[in-house]
């Protein structure tokens, strides 16, 4: 622990502005003598004391509740003192200033034991950082604290609460224990090569590796769903020129964001807009029409459209219902679909959306894709848009039982992807006619290291700084 992490810290723990109640939080070592000296009252552990908070003349700045939580039974694992006062910003600022004044006063014979040197204002997220450093929370739980505070929907809040309770961490630890056991078997085979017994075959090492891969897949699916709840989905509208992509963006956003004309190829670049559907953030991206063209500017737009598709969580493959009888149009749609299927991972859904139903002469038939049944809409009249919105909400996990979803961040998904890569290499080694057990052992070790970074068991200090800097001051 750095020296700065040993200094006592103080901050206003409630939101800025006026309110009925405001809280000043102090965390550090041996707080009780200092608190008793300042407040003139002996504080019982976890007991609410109603008393005045005096200024330097002995007059009350305010009256409220003082609660003392001795280490290690506190949020940070240190002594924690909370002052619950009226929620005016001036009152809370005066309490912070008076605490700093009394803590850093010059020592004399009567206050030596009550002196609290180096008390300072807390940095963003520093209380939770100390909870992590003092093993009160692991890193995934600490991040869930901020996610719970920032949650904008009930689903996101419940998923964050699930991660904060340790469910995500428990799943990671269970997977880690499986790695530990399998590594033990591999290392035993390396250490005792002269043994007649094939430890790996007798212990069904290949079966254990397959089981770990399946367990990882399940965790990854739940984490990806939680990441969508936290960060929102990137929804890319793709299709041929003049299918109504810009009209659909405008209809979903409720504003004229993109230029709409009957001329094919009007959109030359990406147009992005973040909207909310029942509180779930969706990042909608309109793209240039996908087609072969000699226009250099349009070629760049098409290239950027494919780049957006590669980063999508959901692709809305937009078709023109008025072109259902045009075989060449259908052939071009089929070619685009083939490219989508080749480029996208299987967990990224492609929704077939038939637009311009107000112009269709017959029901449109969607090409077969690795996704849901076709939706029929009219971006012009609004027909079918509510069904499309509900489909997007379902894909974002809004209707999913949240007990099954972990709130997750991009770094968690990256770590799980690295684990998956190492497991793929481990499978290749173990399936080889002449298994390179030293390489197998190394891939399992690297996979476990990547997994441990999720809970912070092997995490660089600079990453901790980035993570906790996004927290609010009093947390």
- Residue list for the binding site for Mg(2+): 246, 267
- Residue list for the binding site: 25, 82, 136, 242-247, 261-267, 286-289, 475
CATH number corresponding to 162-228+405-456: 1.20.120.430
Per DSSP, the three-state class of 28 is: strand
Per DSSP, the three-state class of 197 is: coil
Fold of 233-395: Rossmann fold (3.40.50)
Q: CATH: 3.30.300.90, 3.30.1360.120, 3.40.50.10440, 3.40.50.2300. Which one for 3-137?
A: 3.30.1360.120
Tens-digit pLDDT profile for residues 16-74: 888 899 999 999 998 999 999 999 999 999 999 999 999 989 999 999 999 999 999 99
Tens-digit pLDDT profile for residues 125-144: 999 999 999 999 999 999 99
* Residue 365 clears pLDDT 70, i.e. is over it: no
* Residue 370 clears pLDDT 50, i.e. is over it: no
- Residue list for the binding site for K(+): 242, 261, 263, 266
Rounded CA gap, 451 and 15, in Å?
Answer: 35
Model confidence pTM above 0.85: no
Element (H, E) at 12: strand 9-12
Query: Given this model, what pLDDT does residue 96 score?
Result: 95
Q: How confident is the model at residue 227 (pLDDT cuts 50, 70, 90)?
A: confident
Alpha carbon 380 to chain centroid, angstroms:
35
Q: What is the mean pLDDT of residues 200-211?
A: 83
- Give the number of other CB atoms < 10 A from CB of residue 81: 25
Beta bridge partners of 273: 284
- Residue list for the binding site for (6S)-5-formyl-5,6,7,8-tetrahydrofolate: 25, 82, 136, 475
- Residue list for the binding site for GTP: 242-247, 261-267, 286-289
Tens-digit pLDDT profile for residues 74-101: 999 999 999 999 999 999 999 999 999 9
Angle at 222 between CA 135 and CA 343, to 5 degrees: 125
**Cis peptide upstream of residue 192 (ω within 30 degrees of 0):** no
Percent of the chain with pLDDT over 90: 39
Angle at 85 between CA 80 and CA 86, to 5 degrees: 155
Which segment of 286-290, 402-406, 466-470 scores lowest on mean pLDDT? 466-470
- Domain coordinates of the chain in residue numbers? 3-137, 162-228+405-456, 233-395
Mutual orientation of helices 139-150 and 437-455 as an angle, nearest 10°? 40
> Considering the chain, what is the average pLDDT of its residues?
84
Tens-digit pLDDT profile for residues 300-335: 888 888 888 998 889 999 998 888 888 898 999 999
């Amino acid at each position: 622990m750095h020296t700065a992490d040993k200094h006592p810290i103080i901050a206003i723990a409630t939101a800025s502005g006026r309110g009925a109640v405001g809280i000043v939080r102090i965390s550090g070592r041996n707080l009780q003598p200092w608190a008793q000296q300042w407040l003139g009252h002996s504080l019982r552990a976890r007991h609410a004391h109603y008393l005045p908070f005096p200024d330097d003349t002995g007059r009350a700045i305010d009256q409220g509740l003082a609660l003392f939580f001795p280490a290690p039974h506190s949020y940070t694992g240190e002594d924690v003192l909370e002052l619950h006062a009226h929620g005016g910003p001036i009152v809370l600022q005066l309490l912070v200033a008076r605490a700093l004044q009394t803590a850093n006063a010059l020592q004399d014979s009567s206050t030596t034991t009550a002196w609290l040197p180096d008390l300072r204002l807390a940095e963003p997220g520093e209380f939770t950082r100390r909870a992590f450093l003092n093993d009160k929370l692991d890193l995934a739980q600490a991040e869930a604290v901020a996610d719970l505070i920032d949650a904008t929907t009930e689903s996101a809040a419940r998923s964050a609460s699930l991660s904060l309770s340790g469910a995500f961490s428990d799943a990671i630890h269970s997977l880690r224990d499986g790695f530990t056991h399998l590594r033990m078997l591999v290392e035993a085979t390396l250490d005792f090569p002269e043994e007649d017994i094939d430890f790996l075959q007798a212990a069904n090492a290949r079966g254990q590796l397959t089981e770990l891969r399946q367990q990882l897949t399940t965790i990854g699916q739940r984490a990806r769903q939680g990441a969508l709840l936290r960060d929102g989905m990137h929804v890319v509208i793709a299709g041929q020129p003049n299918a109504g992509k810009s009209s659909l963006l405008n209809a979903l956003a409720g504003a004229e964001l993109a230029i709409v004309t009957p001329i094919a190829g009007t959109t030359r670049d990406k147009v992005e807009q973040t909207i909310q559907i029942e509180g779930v953030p969706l990042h909608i991206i309109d793209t240039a029409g996908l087609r072969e063209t000699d226009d250099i500017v349009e070629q760049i737009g098409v290239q950027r459209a494919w780049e957006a598709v590669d980063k999508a969580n959901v692709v809305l493959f937009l078709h023109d219902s008025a072109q259902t009888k045009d075989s060449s149009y259908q052939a071009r749609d089929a070619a685009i679909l083939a490219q989508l299927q080749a480029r996208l991972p299987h967990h990224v859904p492609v929704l077939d959306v038939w637009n311009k139903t107000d112009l269709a002469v017959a029901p449109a038939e969607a090409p077969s894709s690795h996704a849901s049944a076709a939706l029929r809409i009219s971006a012009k009249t609004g027909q079918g848009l509510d069904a499309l919105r509900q489909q997007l909400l379902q894909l974002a996990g809004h209707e999913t039982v949240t007990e099954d979803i972990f709130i997750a961040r991009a770094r968690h998904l990256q770590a799980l992807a690295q684990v998956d890569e190492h497991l793929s290499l481990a499978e290749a080694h173990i399936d080889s006619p002449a298994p390179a057990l030293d390489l197998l052992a190394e891939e399992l070790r690297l996979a476990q290291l990547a997994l441990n970074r999720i809970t912070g068991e092997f995490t660089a200090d600079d990453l901790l700084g980035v993570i906790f800097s996004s927290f609010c001051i009093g947390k």
